[in-house]
Amino acid sequence: MDIFLTEKHQIVRHSVRAFAQREIIPIAKEIDEEQRFPWEVVEKMAALGYLGVQAPKELGGAGMDTVSYTLIIEELSNASAALGLCASVHNSVALYPLLAFGNREQHERFVPDLASGKKIGAFCLTEPNAGSDASSIEATAILDGDHYIVNANKVFVTNGGIAETCLIFVRTDPAAGSRGISVIVAEKGTPGFVVGENENLSGMRANPVSSIRLSECRIPKENLLAKEGMGLKIGLAGLDTGRIGIAAQAVGIAQASLDEGIKYAKERIQFKVPIANHQSIQNMIADMGTKVEAARLMVYRAALLKDMGKPFSKEAAMAKLMASETACQVADMAVQIHGGYGYSKSYPVERYYRDARVTRIYEGTSEVHRIVIARNLLS
């Protein structure tokens, strides 16, 4: 794959890989089992620019391109999918919408702390009765003088347990249907802002996914992102970018699964030879490697289109669909290669299997992505 990357991209990949091997891999199993967010590592990620990858340097970011972003997320996720998820969501659906739709004052007020990693961001769209159907949100924001009175119950918020700057999707005009949805930036510590308990999830356990509730929360009207009624446009733009990040995350999980499958196949002896000598294992490894490379190419294509300023919504959806399905398939095959040991927490493929599964759900389910892709192809 090196032939598709510039020298700068290769340097980025190698540096992130070295960081992940040094700082993340030694604690990956521990933080998963303890369901612990490793601030000591995240602070080092922030210092290296991983939490402000595409934010401009003048606002405290690293000023990198989208391809570099995908490389960073892939390598972090290869070591710990939960930390890759933190960086992906923070960069793509929290920071990016602020950069793309915020005004100068909002850039100066919110972006530097997020880009430097001083604060963590979150994207608060999902509710108990609104998931894939984003237009069904019930959260409200009623203008009262210079403030909005916000009431919201957001669930499954990635980074929710540690986020301080949250993009809250609300209805500012309940009678306007989907055109009445807006985005308001809410900050932790505002009276009425309550963080719920972390979810006890199957995978991504080192990421503090939680609910966030706002009750009669008074938020300055200056915190409205763009204009009233632009919520869905902002959300879709953020999700297009976020899908590239989650696709890169899925590739990272798939690559880790492939690597472990190959390693174990060479070590495990059955019928007096390494199981890698058996045709059935070789077939699985061949399929795994092919799927990983294909998914990675699709992620690179979507990232390149974004960097070129061309439409990339269809390609991002394709990359996310392909990569997430691949991650699940490859992790499953890695477990199968390990046999009974693959079902034991003593081996990392068990964690990869759990982490991979959710990539087909968040940032848009595989079913929703097929709808997006079909509509693009049929239009």
Residues catalogued as catalytic = 363
Give DSSP secondary structure letters for 45-77. Answer: HHHTTTTSTTS-GGGTS----HHHHHHHHHHHH
> Alpha-carbon distance 286 to 294, whole Å?
12
> Alpha-carbon distance 44 to 32, whole Å?
19
Paired tokens of 178 = 């989907």
Paired tokens of 278 = 């058996």
DSSP 146: T
> Alpha-carbon distance 141 to 150, whole Å?
4
DSSP 224: B
What φ, ψ does residue 57 adopt, rounded to 5°? -60, -35
What φ, ψ does residue 53 adopt, rounded to 5°? -55, -50
Pairing between β-strand 121-124 and β-strand 165-171 as defined by DSSP bridges: parallel
Cα 208–chain centre separation? 13
> Alpha-carbon distance 24 to 207, whole Å?
14
> Alpha-carbon distance 92 to 123, whole Å?
9
Paired tokens of 207 = 């990421």
Coil/strand/helix, residue 226 = coil
Alpha carbons within 13 A on the beta-carbon side of 195: 21
Residue of 109, 174, 110 lying closest to 141 (CA atoms): 174
